Amino acid sequence: MKIYGYGVELHRLTEDNIELVRNHRNSTTINQFMDFREHITEEQQLLWFNTINNLNNNYYIIIHNQTKIGLIYGADINWDTLETGNGGIFIWDTNYWESEIPALASILLTDTSILLGLKKTYIKVLKSNKKAIAFNKMLGYKLCENQFKDNQQYELEITNYQNKREKLLKYFSSIQHKKPTIYFDENNPTDAFYLNLIKQQPLKNQQLFNIKLI
């Protein structure tokens, strides 16, 4: 699966990119913002990939101007309750930390959640990470009740995001807001599952994207 929109590309994580992700995830630049900060080995990374490479997890490499700059994900999806149990993003290219690209990647992935009929997303953010907290509140996330630990849980009702979406897109006026395009491989079981889900969604949700087959 590949998603193009708002000047950003999201390519579903494949095994040939997991070492790229591991090396950046192990860097002090990134792991200072993570709850788990121990060194991740090649074996651990491969084991992790084999557990998340399925229809309940969507991990994407973020690409801008043909450069791989970070990772964004919606994981632990419960298709019965239509909830994403764990969402997140990290940008390893520090040139993009103060740019609008991370926000646009998040908008693009959240639009995909609407397309798939998901209703709620949960994330965890260290309470010391003020920039991430402000960023997620902009998208519509709210702090869950009884969050006393350093790694605090937030939730996003998709309806809350939908109420903010047009205002968000207008805020990023420098980007050409053409309808995003999502590419599916019919021969891929996960892609086929998503395609079937999309066909069951209201037409207004389906119309958020151009849907193409590869």
Q: What is the pLDDT of residue 58?
A: 96
pLDDT at 174: 63
Half-sphere exposure in the Cβ direction for 101 (13 Å, CA) = 26
> What is the structure's pLDDT at 2?
96
pLDDT in the model for residue 177: 66
Q: Which domain holds residue 76?
A: 2-213
Q: What is the pLDDT of residue 176?
A: 60
If one counts every other C-beta atom within 10 angstroms of the C-beta of residue 94, the result is 10
Residue 173 is predicted with a pLDDT of 63
Q: What is the pLDDT of residue 91?
A: 95
Tokens of 189: 């079981």
Residue 160 sits in a domain whose CATH number is 3.40.630.30
**Domains in the chain: how many in total?**
1
Cβ neighbours of residue 34 closer than 8 Å, sequence gap 6 or more: 25, 90
Lookup: tokens for 117: 């009929």
Which residues of the chain fall below pLDDT 50?
none
pTM score: 0.93
